[in-house]
Amino acid sequence: MIAINDLRHVKVEAARTARARYRAGTIEPTSGIAPGFTQANMIVLPRDWAFDFLLYAQRNPKACPVLDVSDPGSHATLLAPGADLRKDLPLYRIWRDGKLAEETADATVAWGEHPDLVSFLIGCSFTFETSMVEAGIEIRHITDRSNVPMYLTNKACRPAGRLHGNMVVSMRPIPASRVADAATISGRFPAVHGAPVHVGAPEEIGIKDLAKPEFGDPVRIKPGEVPVFWACGVTPQAAVMASGVPFAITHAPGHMFITDIPDSAYHA
């Protein structure tokens, strides 16, 4: 991994333009947007819950690889100087007592309810999709301009403090002849979920119907393709639900924070 400070020369217009559009109100899934720039999941919690969550992330690094943590009360991040985490994602979810209370394109009002919110930015598998496309592996949800399908599994994460829950996975159908390549390429990006956690046999991880993802949209699976599952940064939202967390702000699944950091920075 390359030090963030060594990347300051990178031309970041594409990332800034996308964030400006979202700040202005555009809502869209971010897969395929600003290719080559790392995207991040987000969860924002009061300071009182911050240690529990950071420990949950440390204990479940494949699902929750932490890229940056803001100081309490700040809405800035090292990963995109000048960005405002309250406004620059396309769509947010506000959670109360473990339940989805609201979706909004601007989280400023909800953010104002707590003076000490800590923001966690978590690696996203969209980051290695560009490398897979460059290797000739089609990413179906990019081709079809839909959101990636995500499923709640039966795999329990290791609990931490008051937080517990199961892993969420994203799924991409991959031709059987390219599954090994997809595993190898994504494995080079351990900070953004890395190699798949499961290949084929969805019922083994509690997925009954691939056509009915808990988050995102279903995708076409062609004959000869195998469903390949990667740990997903929506896992914190499953923990919010399972643990009845009193207050949280997250991104809406598939609607990520686009950073100024090139994907290559997270190449092992």
- The residue among 253, 93, 234 whose CA lies nearest residue 168 is 234
Q: How far is the CB of 179 from a copy of itself (least distance, A)?
A: 20
Cβ of residue 159: shortest distance to a copy of itself, in angstroms? 9
CB 53 → a copy of itself: shortest distance, Å? 9
* Residues whose CB falls within 8 Å of the CB of residue 183, separated by 6 or more in sequence, listed in order: 195, 196, 199, 228
101 phi/psi in degrees, rounded to 5: -100, -30
**Two tokens, residue 161:** 């403090």
CA–CA separation, 69 vs 81, rounded Å? Answer: 14
Comparing CA positions, the residue from 141, 165, 187 lying closest to residue 242 is 165
Binning the chain into helix, strand and coil, the percentages to the nearest 5 are: 30, 25, 45
Other C-beta atoms closer than 10 Å to the C-beta of 198 total 19
- Least Å from the CB of residue 162 to a copy of itself: 12
Of the two residues 49 and 215, which places its CB atom closer to a copy of itself in the complex? 49
- Using the minimum distance from each CB to a copy of itself, give the nearer residue, 219 or 232: 232
Give the interface with a copy of itself as residue ranges (CB under 8 A).
1, 47, 50-51, 54-55, 58-59, 61, 66, 69, 71, 161, 190, 268
Please give the single-letter amino acid code of residue 41. N
Residues shown for the chain: 268
Which residue, 140 or 198, is less far from a copy of itself as judged by CB? 198
**Min dist. Cβ of residue 83 to a copy of itself (A):** 18
Q: Given the complex with a copy of itself, which of 23 and 47 has the nearer CB atom?
A: 47
The answer to whether 122 and 57 have CB atoms below 8 angstroms apart is: yes
Nearer to a copy of itself, 92 or 230 (CB): 230
Q: Of 132 and 191, which CB lies nearer to a copy of itself in the complex structure?
A: 191
CB of 98 to a copy of itself, least distance (A): 22
Encoded amino acid at 20, one letter: A
